Chain A
């Protein structure tokens, strides 16, 4: 492995997938923490404040890593993919810049206000700060997903022969790209699913393993669990519906990705089967054994059970006649427009499978805890392990989705316009990419261990006892008043 292209792809993949472990939790937990605080303000029940602060602490441990790994995301386009940046800057840069201006400032500023502002802001305004942070995460997701959707399905631009660059002609087309309209709800609902699974898993474990003296903490954990389980069920259904819509759009604009997802080599004129499992040869071209459900692929791709789904061989021929014999300079063999089939096939299945499991866990918890029941016996023994594995499974499902989306587009970086090989920085040396690949991976690995250690520590401790937070609106707006020498409500 010594070509800059191959190293750069690994570097990008590792850095991006790692960053995206924190993103869904950030998007989802800002919503959950805001909801918990709002419920506390409405009900005045101290349990909700304890949960608010508990999940805020876990969220902040997670958010720190999300923020710092996010800067790498922006820098690496220019560092390792400079020819890509030159080519797409006009189109791709604008959403990124607006994202920073509109979303990142909002998130970082109002989160600082929320964390340190318990004793400085009136309660409703304090709660509003977290809602604003959540709006910021949604805006951020919108712009970055619009940029990504443009790479999947370039619209609203024209190619300038003279400069050799893509030029933006219609910003609204980029913002409301049909791929974007499918992707945004899918990713956001998956984020809600993930964070609700995180909350459910942690509370479920506490419920069974740290019930407090005579189970005194159980009612609080139960309330939180039920809330999380409902969110999981609703967002799980939403993820499935939006994913289905997305699949149909994908079949239309990136038929090769759908064919690769299914390892469908021959075009199927009607009633294409969906294979649940396939054991095949290493190159993925020949199947030895497969478990198939008839006609389901046709439905996933086209919406009717007898729709035609194009196979890899036919698409290969089509792309070859459209785009010529050399999609990539060195990495891809001539005329090869096929992504890595085993990777796309399996990530597609793991994404869907883990997502479905997530929704089902929510349903199971609602059933098991119905009418005040406490799971006991075999189920009760098995449940803590399930509680801990649920968020991990959903998180992995997210990663699989992204690996599928990005790998399934290969050899293109901008579908049909620019290959990944053409996008890499021409002036960068292999040792430089090696260094950043190993450097970031090593640092990220260490930070992951530290973060998981901290999360486990605080989960085991459970929510702090209730302490009535100061309400600045009760003592007027003068922070330099009689309480001037009181300790800060929160400090690093």
Chain B
């Protein structure tokens, strides 16, 4: 396999890692005002993701840096072209990250309330905007001969892009509800499971429409298979949730999100960012790539360190595998 293809796959894998992991912690943040009845329950929810959300977010940083290194032209066009949405995502992620750390620092309901708003805003906004951004990458955007994005922010707000945003939003919130059901005990666990079913139906409908639309836009046999399996995983996950099998249910949304993102990348290949202006202006794995030397070097680094990263991240989830309930939340701050 060409190294450019290897890196296309690796970057796809990093985005999959980002969406399946940070997806559920976005979901937990979005559900904060819905599922919790009091401050103690809000703290139960936040503590389910406390030790891991930061590690989950590093998948985004790695995906960004790997794109910079492996496909500089893609990185430059994408990041400067999507300036406004990325700016809003950054503001959201800043507020959210600070909120987790600062929320418990003062014993005041007003103080905690403001940081809760920051968590909620910081979870909804990226969950929606990442979907908009990815749908637009798949659909293609106007790019000129110098690989410059020539559209405006309105270009990105097309029906397909907006639907993409709703799909990630609804999938992440379902994923988050199932994570809470899996990681908590007591009242909140039952409520999370019940809610996950309602949210899951909405997500399934939206996702199926979006995946069919994507199949028409960029599909081939491989994407069709991935999308069908993703849809089955989602439906299977919901059935498992209904049957009270929370672990299986969470695995279902985990697979559904991962396979759907994989399908988007497979449909995109060999483009990385198609141009709607002219096919000749499309960024591909070849014309956007770094030199073979750089790619080779990074392949060695990835082969050495990626398994290590996966290993210790998995270990973290094992260390914090215990369910949390309101009894486990220490009183006061």
Q: Which residue numbers of A lie inside 8 Å of B, CB to CB?
A: 60-61, 63-65, 67-72, 74-75, 77-80, 82-83, 85-86, 88-94, 96-102, 104-106, 108-113, 115-117, 120-121, 165, 167-169, 171, 425-428, 432, 435-436, 439-440, 443, 447, 450, 454, 457-458, 479-480, 484-492
CB distance from A117 to the nearest CB of B (A): 6
Roughly how many angstroms separate A169 CA and B91 CA in the complex, as a whole number? 37
Contact B94 A69 (CB under 8 A): yes
Given contacts A96-B65, A100-B61, A101-B302, contact A60 B148 (CB under 8 A): no
Nearest-Cβ distance from residue B101 to partner chain A, whole angstroms: 4
Q: Does B277 contact A (CB under 8 A)?
A: no
Tell me whether A104 and B50 are in contact (CB under 8 A).
no
A109 to B55, CA, bound (A): 5
Contact with A along B15-54 (1 / 0, CB 8 A): 0000000000000000000000000000100110011101
A101 pairs with B78, CB closer than 8 A: no
Write out the residue numbers on chain B whose beta carbons fall within 8 Å of the beta carbon of A113. 51, 316, 319
Q: Does B329 contact A (CB under 8 A)?
A: yes
Distance in angstroms between the alpha carbons of A56 and B72 in the assembled complex: 38
Residues of chain B contacted by A436 (CB below 8 angstroms): 83, 87
B66 within 8 A of A: yes
- B77 located at the interface, meaning its Cβ lies under 8 Å from any Cβ of chain A in the complex: yes
B residues near A492, Cβ cutoff 8 Å = 43, 46-47, 50, 100-101, 103-104
B contact residues around A484 at 8 Å (CB): 322
Known interface pairs A94-B294, A97-B69; A116-B51 also in contact (CB < 8 Å) = yes
- Cα of A302 to Cα of B37 in the assembled complex, Å: 69
Contact flags (1/0) for B85-117 with A, using CB distance below 8 Å? 011001101110110111111100000000000
A488 partner, pick from B62, B65, B93, B324, beta carbons under 8 A: B324
Pairwise interchain contact B319-A101, C-beta atoms closer than 8 A: no
| B residues less than 8 Å from A447 (CB atoms) | 94, 98
Cα A117 to Cα B320 in complex, Å, equals 8
Report how many residues on chain B are interfacial, defined by Cβ distance under 8 Å: 76
B128-136, B229-237, B304-312: which lies at the interface = B304-312
Do A488 and B330 have beta carbons less than 8 Å apart? yes
**7 closest A-B pairs by CB:** A89-B72, A78-B79, A93-B69, A64-B101, A82-B80, A93-B68, A82-B76
- Return chain B residues, CB-CB under 8 Å to A428: 80, 83
Residues of A within 8 A of B103 (CB): 492
Q: Give every chain A residue within 8 A of B305 (Cβ-Cβ).
A: 98, 101-102
Task: Please indicate the chain A residues that have their CB under 8 angstroms from the CB of B330 in the complex.
Answer: 487-491
Q: Is the CB of B328 within 8 A of A487?
A: yes
B62 is contacted by which of A85, A101, A427 (Cβ under 8 Å)? Answer: A101
Q: Which residue of A lies closest to B329 (CB)?
A: A491
Query: CB-nearest residue of chain A relative to B89?
Result: A75
Instruction: List 5 additional contacts besides A78-B78, A97-B68, A104-B61; criterion CB under 8 Å.
Output: A98-B305, A171-B293, A439-B91, A457-B106, A491-B50
26 contacts between A and B (CB under 8 A): A60-B101, A71-B94, A75-B86, A78-B76, A78-B79, A79-B83, A82-B79, A86-B72, A96-B69, A97-B66, A97-B301, A98-B305, A104-B61, A109-B309, A109-B313, A113-B316, A168-B291, A427-B81, A427-B149, A439-B87, A485-B327, A488-B324, A490-B330, A491-B328, A491-B330, A492-B43
Q: Which of A61, A112, A427 contacts B54 (CB 8 A)?
A: A112
Q: Determine which residue in B60, B79, B293, B298 has the highest number of CB atoms from chain A within 10 A of its CB, and name it.
A: B79
Chain B residue with Cβ nearest A95: B69
Tell me how far the C-beta of A480 lies from the nearest C-beta in chain B, rounded to whole angstroms.
6
Which B185-221 residues sit within 8 Å CB-CB of chain A?
Answer: none
* Cα of A367 to Cα of B313 in the assembled complex, Å: 47
Docked pose: A426 CA to B81 CA in angstroms: 10
Q: Which residues of B contact A488 (CB under 8 A)?
A: 47, 324, 328-330
For A105, give its contact among B62, B147, B297, B321 (CB under 8 Å): B62
Q: Are the C-beta atoms of B294 and A93 separated by less than 8 Å? A: yes
Which chain A residues border B293 with CB–CB below 8 Å? 167-169, 171
Among B47, B102, B306, B329, the residue within 8 A (CB) of A64 is: B102
Name which residue of chain A comes closest to B320, CB basis. A116
The reply on B150 being an interface residue by CB < 8 A is: yes
Q: Is the CB of A112 within 8 A of B316?
A: yes
Decide if B64 is an interface residue (CB 8 Å cutoff): yes
Q: Does B70 contact A (CB under 8 A)?
A: yes
When the two chains form their complex, are residues A93 and B75 in contact, meaning their CB atoms are under 8 A apart?
yes
Determine whether the beta carbon of A72 is less than 8 Å from that of B94. Answer: yes
